[in-house]
Structure 1
Amino acid sequence: MPRETPRATRVGSRIQRILGQVIASDIRDSRLGLATVTDVEVSKDLAAARVYISALGDRTAADQAVDVLNERAPYLRHRVAQAMSLRHTPSLRFMPDYSQADSDRIRSLLERGDTEQSDED
């Protein structure tokens, strides 16, 4: 998406807060796990929003959470529209954010490397 405007940034942060609350309280699906809204990028014209989702676990957990939320996108868009006073509510597209899963994997590799080195000493 093109560079965000200050208004798009404000709308994105508000959408992030709203979706975080709605996902935590309203969506009950075992595939969702512990999903978190990490970022929202809104287009300049406020017509579309990319919502980045991180989930506790590996990359497949984030993919599953994204699949669940994309299925429920119309409901989530409706809830955002209720909470915000915009003429047109942006369409929501959920995308995986693998940064948490990757950092967990790197941390475990580093810890495993430390234990292997200490065994050699």
Structure 2
Amino acid sequence: MSNIRSNRVAEQMKKELGDILSRKIKDPRVGFVTVTDVQVSGDLQQAKVFISIFGDEQQKEDTLVGLAKSKGFIRSEIGNRIRLRKVPELSFEIDETIEYGNKIERIIHDLNEDH
């Protein structure tokens, strides 16, 4: 039962985080960010937010620093939008799966071009 609830909370948080990060965050360090997934622990105390960041390594680092500084504001925004007793503690991680998929696609494309 709690697994279903944590999945539902994760989906709602993913939707709200996408909106918050695109419209509400004014930190110049935060670049173009897409929320790819959110995983919420069974007790709803922790939320791991996977993000994709457009830019080079320096821009990615700057964005992670900006998001870390904005955690309190982001949590309060989520608390205003989702009815929870306690808003989960957020941790942001870069989602490497998109870049990995693009790399594999380039390799396959290059192999097909050679033949």
TM-score for the superposition, normalised by structure 1: 0.78
Report 1:3-42 matches (<5 A). 5-42=3-40
Q: CA separation in 2, counterparts of 1:113 and 1:71?
A: 44
Q: Which is higher, the Rg of structure 1 or of structure 2?
A: 1
In structure 2, what is the equivalent of residue 106 of structure 1?
104
Tell me by how many angstroms 1:104 deviates. Answer: 2.2
Q: 1:87 aligns with which of 85, 88, 91?
A: 85
* Residue identity opposite 2:67 in structure 1: L
In structure 2, what is the equivalent of residue 43 of structure 1?
41
Q: CA separation in 1, counterparts of 2:25 and 2:103?
A: 28
**% identical equivalent positions:** 29
Superposition CA RMSD, Å: 2.2
Q: CA-to-partner distance for each residue in 1:55-109, whole Å, 9 max, x for gaps? A: 2356x25444333212211110010001011111111111110111222233334
* Structure 1 gap segments, 5+ residues each: none
Count of aligned pairs between the two proteins: 113
Change (3 A) 1:26 1:76: same
